[in-house]
Amino acid sequence: MLSKSKVAEIADQVLRRTLGQHGYDHAEVRFGDDHDGAPSIFIDAFFREGSDATPGQATLTSITGLSSAFRGQGEDRFPYFRARFVGDEIGVE
């Protein structure tokens, strides 16, 4: 399994490439279990103020890019992705 810092580095590289033109600013990464108890990676991508919702194709490219990049490094945890925009209300999990 990759370290949190390595996962964050890879995530930022992928997201800058796929979402940079749509206002991507930074990502926050955490590890935890998903709803079935499987070890997972949770990635929140934060966007600059004034950014609009990302086009579906850009989001899909980001998700598949993250998954491929992690698998290419031997990571087997599933990456969950969320886009966060200024003004979003973030619930307690």
The set of residues, in sequence order, having a beta carbon less than 8 Å from that of 26 and lying 6+ positions away, is 12, 45, 46
| Residue ranges covered by each domain of the chain | 4-84
Q: Name 50's Cβ contacts closer than 8 Å, sequence gap at least 6.
A: 23, 86
For 1-14, how does the pLDDT look when each residue is reduced to its tens digit (9 = 90+)? 899 999 999 999 99
CB 27 within 8 A of CB 43: yes
pLDDT digits (tens, 9 = 90+) for 40-83: 999 999 999 999 889 999 999 999 999 999 999 999 999 999 99
Domain 4-84 is classified in which CATH homologous superfamily?
Answer: ANL, C-terminal domain (3.30.300.30)
Where residue 81 falls (left for φ over 0; alpha for ψ -120 to 50; beta otherwise) is beta
93 pLDDT above the threshold of 70 = no
Q: What is the residue whose two structure tokens read 């966007």?
A: 47
